[in-house]
Amino acid sequence: MDEWGPEKVVCVSDSRTGMRGVLVLDNTARGMGKGGTRMSPTLDVPEIARLARTMTWKWAAVDLFQGGAKAGILGDPHAPGKEGVLRAFARALANEVPREYVLGLDMGLTERDAAILRDELGDRGAAVGLPAALGGVPYDELGVTGYGVAESAEAAGEAIGLPLRGARVALQGFGAVGAAAARRLAALGAVVVAVSTGEGAVHDPDGLDLAAMLRLRDEYGDACVLHGAGRRLPVGGELRVDADILVPAAREDAVDEEIARATRARLVVEGANSPTTPRAKAALAGRGIVTVPDFIANAGGVVAAAFAMDARYSPFRPEPAQIFTTVSAKLRANTAQVLEESRLRGSTPHEAATALAQERVRAAMELRGRLPRAS
C-alpha cells in the first residue's frame, strides 16, 4: 500500500464450484470503482492490484470521473462449469457490486459472461459490456479499444514526424484489441507487416493481406496465423521484425530489455496493459524511441465504459458514432498533451502521463479530505 491505495482488497472463494477471486479497489477519490474483470489460470492478487492502479491513472488521464479498480477470477475461461464459477463470484461480491464496483470485461470474459453476472445479481447496474440485446454497449464487439490505439498511434506519429500513412506496423496480439487496431491502422493508411496470437506469428515485409487475416481469425481464431500468407514466426518473433511502429497488444511485460535494445521501431504504442517492463522503458527512452503509455493509448475502452455506465439504468443506448467520435477526440488530445509534456519536462512519456494523472487524483483527494495529515 502507498499514498494512493489500494483502499480495499476483497478475496472470495466458493467450495462448491472451486471459485477463487479477488476485487481490488485502488483509489475512488474521483468516483466509484470501475475496471474490467478477467479470468486466467495464472492470476494472482499482485497482478490485479497492479492493473487496478493502472485503472486509477487511466480514468484520471482521460479525465473521466471513475475510480481505479480491477477484479479477477482464478481459472481457465474455456473450462466447463464457467457459468457456475461466474455466478458464485457475483454472489460473493454482492456487498460491493454495484455500490462500490461495477463488473466489466477483460481477458477471459465475454459479453455473454457479463449477462450472466448481471442476471445473478439482479441489478441492471451490476455490469457493463452487456450484449446489445440486453441494452448494453458491446464495446468489445465495436472494437473501441483497438480503434483508440490506432488513433493514438496517428497522433503520436504526427508529434514525432512519423506519418502513419505508409508506416510499417507490427502488432503483438490479434484478439479483440489487436484486430480492431489493425483494421483502423490500415484504414488510416498504415501497412501491417506482422501480427501474432498465442499460436505464433506471421510476417510479410510488404504488408499482410489484412482482410484475409481478419476472415481467417473469424474462422480459425488464434490459429489464423498458421493459415495466413506470409512467413511463420514463433511467438515473440513479431516484436523483432523491421517495422516503424510496434504495438504490443497482448500480455503484460511482453517487451523486455532485450527487445527494447533490438527493435528498429521509432514508436511503441502500448495496446495492452503494462506490456513493457521498467527496464525496457528505460532502454527505449535511452535510444530515443517514443513510447505511448498504455493508459493513454488503450483508454478507448474506458471511454466506452463511461458511456455504458451512464446507460446502465437508461432505456436509451448511445450511438456507436458518438462513442467513436469521443474516443478519437480524447485519445488524440491526450496523446499529444502527454508527448508535449514529456518534451517540456525532459521526462519519458510514462513519467509525464503519470504526473498528469497523479495531479488530478491528488486534487480530488485533497477536496475530499483524503490526503495524509501533515506531521
Catalytic residues: 70
**Helix or strand or coil: residue 223?**
helix
Cite the beta strand spans of the chain per DSSP E. 8-14, 19-27, 33-34, 37-40, 67-74, 101-102, 168-172, 191-197, 200-203, 231-233, 245-248, 267-269, 290-292
C-alpha cell at 251: 500480455
Residue 143 phi/psi, 5-degree rounding, is 75, 35
Q: Using an 8 Å Cβ cutoff, are 72 and 37 in contact?
A: yes
Q: What are the DSSP calls for 15-71, one per residue?
A: TTTTEEEEEEEEE-TTSSEE--EEEETT--HHHHHHHHHHHHHHHHHTT-S-EEEEE
What is the rounded distance in angstroms from the CA atom of residue 30 to the CA atom of residue 63? 9
